[in-house]
Amino acid sequence: MAQRKPGGWGDSLKTVIYAALIAIFIRTFLYEPFNIPSGSMIPTLLVGDYLFVSKFSYGYSNYSFPLSPNLFQGRIFGSLPKRGDVAVFRLPRDPSIDYIKRIVGLPGDSIQMQNGHLFINGKELPRTPDGSYTTEGDDDGPPMVLKKYIETMPDGLQHPILKASDDGPLDNTQVYHVPPGYVFGMGDNRDDSLDSRVLDAVGYIPVANLVGHAEIIFFSIDARYPWWEVWEWPFEIRWDRILHTIH
């Protein structure tokens, strides 16, 4: 009796199927890759950064699964972010769009900007000058020199922010009262971020829309150049950002 030789097309097909199932499992329950398309989180995240987001940090919702099937309501094994977490979420007004911001407000918090300073529950967050930061130029204009600060969250977490001035359109706001079941997100590039301060564009973020916690940058490339120009990668890759943890 002839025996089937190992390594035929059947074994290759099974290997592909197993690999696909493992990839789907990892992407759904463990880590999902994202890339940064805008400068709203500079200097923490740059355009052209590629990062892994932990899906298990805040539990699982419909948005944790491919194609976001409407399987259940709320979150399974859910937990709230910490103030200061950098989180990916689905935009409330258009859940097909992924957004990434720093979570500054939790359910029940009051948030306000006064003269460019962030207040949480009536208390101003300390910020310490940390020199300047020059943004990369793009098609819309030349590079800009911004003021850099280190901001300290109520629990002591510190992170950088950028400010062009303290009298911009979103530097003096109403008091935002974060409803139950929602969080409030802002960009670290405070004067160039469309975030929860703009209620009709982003607004309060439902906890169910959270996708995960941004953990680590696994690749970074200067996005001013086409990604497919692989021969330019040695000169365009930001080597110092690879495996950089996100705070």
d(CA 202, CA 87): 14
* 10 three-state secondary structure: helix
d(CA 5, CA 12): 12
Q: Are 204 and 183 in contact (CB under 8 A)?
A: yes
Other beta carbons within 10 angstroms of residue 57's beta carbon come to 17
Q: Distance (Å, rounded) from C-alpha 43 to C-alpha 47?
A: 10
Q: Is 163 a catalytic residue?
A: no
- DSSP calls for 24-79: HHIIIIIEEEEE--SSTTTTTS-TTEEEEEETTTT-B-GGGSTT-----SS-BS--
- Of 55, 101, 147, 163, the catalytic one is 101
Cis peptide, bond prior to residue 129, ω within 30 of zero: no
**Which two structure tokens, joined as six digits, stand for 220?**
């970074």
Residue 144 neighbours by CB distance under 10 Å: 14
Active site residue 101: yes
DSSP states along 159-187: EEEEES-SSSTTSS-PPEEPPTTEEEEE-
The catalytic residue positions are 40, 101
